[in-house]
A and B are shown apart, each in its own frame.
Chain A
Amino acid sequence: MNAEPLSAEVAGDLIAEIVRPKSAGTSTVGAPTIEKETRAEEALDVPWHVVVHNDPVNLMSYVTMVFQRVFGYPRDKAKKHMLEVHQKGRSILWSGMRERAELYVQQLHGYLLLATIEKVS
């Protein structure tokens, strides 16, 4: 979901551009100005929830097995979340960085569960 990292070649060119002397014969190199991309950093810092929603078709035992497999939860914890989904309509299975949350949702969709990511408010 995120942009691809720079290739070594491109990164090398960028570094060379930053440290290149202003003119031939000048040996001092000015410190590069690093612009802070505060908005992007903030977006990355905000944790995200992985939420699983109730679905009348999926079997309880199946949902429990999926939680064990995807999150590595012990059976009791997986069952607790399954019951929360069943009784309250949803359960937060995991919270953390967005990229990983998206990966978990992709895995849950692979098991045909109704799952979404949600920004922690």
Chain B
Amino acid sequence: MHHPVLELHDVSYTYGDGIVLRDVDLSVREGGFYGIVGPSGAGKTTLLRLMEGSLRPGSGTVDRGPDGRSQPRLGVVPQLESIDWTFPITVEEVVLLGLTSDGRRLPWATRAMRARAGEVLERLGIAELARRHIRNLSGGQQQRTFVARALVRKPDLLLLDEPTSGVDVATRHDILHLLHDLNHEGIAIVLTTHDLNAVAAHLPNLVCVNGRIVAQGTPEDVLTTGILRELYGADMVVVNRDGMILIGDTIGATVEPHPREGHPVGTPDAHFGPVAPHDHASGSDHRHDVEARP
């Protein structure tokens, strides 16, 4: 039985006059792997920041280390878009920032700290880049640098904001495999993502957020047309083929007159690869949600 490492009880948060999140109850378990999904502005990043502790809830409580357990060590990986890539700092210096709260007063790192940073960089395959400025890295290497900063403090819980946004397919696979490996080593992981097909559908647990928690559970439980309609306010098609879930817009949502030429633009097949949704209408899979189509 995995214990909770972090719990949110009845948490609400407002920015100015607008309520971003309300009545959130959520439990993150030891060694769990969670994806937070939802439309833009739904409160995904706010939820992550409440977990980190960089935002304080307007009401409710965020309990780190519930049931009298010690506080989990957090590793936070920000959105790459939020980083100032011109800042004068090398890969190794970024990683050493992960050890800032170790109580050491002097500005320079000890030999032991450098060795620890070196181990983590080696583990992530970027040891040879330690002296390189962060601007001179590829997107995958940049993401690994910030994962290394989190790992250097041996976290119990890793929180990542859109770790696969703006990267290509190979890098995305690379990052997801790395996160799965870290999860298998016992680190609980929570990430936010916009990508339902390539990321969310492959995670063990999903939390659907749109101002509140709309649903939570396994992808099979929550990636349904009904929940997605409630989450995104649009009809979507969900296809489950041989255990693989694929989600796309409905034909009605995509077949619309072209703004200039008046021609229909409808390419639903592109969302599902070789199998078009309408070909599944007679299939045995009950999650083949043709009823969601108009």
Partners in one complex: no
Residues of A within 8 A of B (CB): none
